[in-house]
Amino acid sequence: MAEQSFNSIINNLKAGEYAPVYFLYGEEPYFIDEIINYIENNVIDEAIRDFNQTIVYGRDVTARQVVDLATRFPMMGDKQVVIVKEAQDLTANNRKLDDLEPYLSKPSESTILVLGYKYKKIDKRKTFYKKINKLPQIVIFESKKFYDNQIPGWIKQYVVNQGYYIDDVSTQLLADHVGNDLGRLVNEVKKLFINLPESGKITTEIIEKYIGISKDFNIFEFTKALGFRDTFKAQQIVNYFEANQKNNPLPMITVMLYNYFVKIFLIHYYTKKNEPNIAAKIGLSPFFLREYKAAAKNYPVPVVRKIIGEIKTLDLKSKGYGMVDGNNYGPLREFVYKCIHQKFPANITTE
């Protein structure tokens, strides 16, 4: 069976259409956990779940033991569910997935076997994947890691699907603060759902109150201040970061700076090519396009190149290279000055 999408699998499960085997793999654990949680809590009636549902972890069993569990007959019902969480550990200590192949070729009609192979891809060139990909009775799902530029759109869609509303600034604030950890993002957004007013709108004020992200002093406002070359605001935010280092670690800040100035570089690139849909090309909400274009005017391409080089140096310092104190935000202040005033070492030209 060809690989299926997350929505397709969930819709089929909700319709009571179950496959004998689910092989769920990939670098993003959130979607794998969502599918497993749905099966765990909905397929077998709660009254007989203790008899007909078995949950094991890959580190505790071998592939042959999984087969033994799957070939047992259900009690007090016509179906049993066997879930193997952390199935990637089935390959630890020279153990192989290949021992599953005979069962996967002819799975029990009374068993739903779920394999959650998380945090990494599976080698599609190997015999195991090639064989299971041809078997019509197996549902295969790859949970791909999201890129940073996909996160704002995903947040907005998730919030809308839950029946709420979030504006573009609040979306970007969450994306910049939490990053591409979907599980953590969902947990943070659920906190907001519980505390939303009747309007059902997520705003920066609500985010600040219930998650603790300052609406005025955050990475989003920091890059914006740099884009507009607002020295006072940028240094204010650096002071706030240093006073709240736990929530604003330097390595995270350098990653966001890098992503920001790469987008500025791409603005120049696509403008030169007369690309009509620049925002979509660089994974940016159209709401912020004017702001980024203004920043691009403040930072020509040669300067952006030098700034990206400075960010790489800052990243090394934030990790302790060439620094006695990796928690010292002095290098970040120095970066702000160089960036806004475009003051680079004499041996570095921006032409």
246-300 confidence digits (pLDDT tens): 888 998 899 999 999 999 999 999 998 888 889 888 888 888 999 999 999 999 9
114 secondary structure, DSSP code: E
Are 271 and 167 members of one domain?
A: no
Q: Coil, strand, or helix at residue 118? A: strand
* Residue in the structure block whose two tokens are 């607002």: 230
Are 185 and 303 members of one domain?
A: no
Q: What is the pLDDT of residues 41-59, one digit of tens each?
A: 999 999 999 999 999 999 9
Are 159 and 176 members of one domain?
A: yes
Q: What is the pLDDT of residues 71-130, one digit of tens each?
A: 999 988 899 999 999 999 988 766 778 889 899 999 999 999 999 999 988 888 888 888
Amino acid identity of 139? V
**In a domain? residue 1:** no
Distance CA 224, CA 226 (A): 5
Tokens of 337: 């000055």
The pLDDT assigned to 94 comes to 67
**In a domain? residue 130:** yes
Least confident of 20-24, 147-151, 245-249, 344-348: 344-348
Strands (E), 164-310: 165-166, 201-202
The pLDDT assigned to 284 comes to 87
Are 81 and 15 members of one domain?
A: yes
Are 119 and 175 members of one domain?
A: no
Question: Residue 343 above 80 pLDDT?
Answer: no
Spatial CA neighbour of 309 closest among 281, 284, 339: 339
**In a domain? residue 228:** yes
Question: Residue 188 above 90 pLDDT?
Answer: yes
Q: What is the mean pLDDT of residues 203-207?
A: 93
Q: Coil, strand, or helix at residue 196? A: coil
Q: What is the pLDDT of residues 131-140, one digit of tens each?
A: 888 888 899 9
**In a domain? residue 346:** no
Query: CATH no. for residue 111?
Result: 3.40.50.300
Q: What is the mean pLDDT of residues 4-32?
A: 95
The pLDDT assigned to 187 comes to 94
**In a domain? residue 230:** yes
Distance CA 183, CA 32 (A): 11
Distance CA 348, CA 351 (A): 9
Q: Say how many C-beta atoms besides its own lie within 10 A of residue 186's C-beta.
A: 16
Query: CATH no. for residue 172?
Result: 1.10.8.60
Q: What is the mean pLDDT of residues 339-348?
A: 70
Residue 139 β-bridge partners: 22
Q: What is the mean pLDDT of the chain?
A: 90
Sign of CA dihedral 32, 34, 37, 39: negative
Q: State the DSSP H helix or E strand holding residue 85, giving kind and residue range, or none if neither.
A: strand 80-85
The pLDDT assigned to 325 comes to 59
Question: Residue 35 above 70 pLDDT?
Answer: yes
The pLDDT assigned to 93 comes to 66
Q: How many domains does the chain have?
A: 3
The pLDDT assigned to 348 comes to 45
142 secondary structure, DSSP code: E
Q: What is the pLDDT of residues 307-323, one digit of tens each?
A: 999 999 998 888 877 66
Total residue count of the chain as it appears in this document: 351
**In a domain? residue 330:** yes
Give pTM, 2 decimals. Answer: 0.78
Distance CA 67, CA 79 (A): 16
Tell me the residue range of the domain where 232 lies. Answer: 219-341
Are 175 and 129 members of one domain?
A: no
Across 36-45, 143-152, 203-212, which has the greatest mean pLDDT? 36-45
Spatial CA neighbour of 17 closest among 5, 26, 8: 8
Residue 56 β-bridge partners: 84
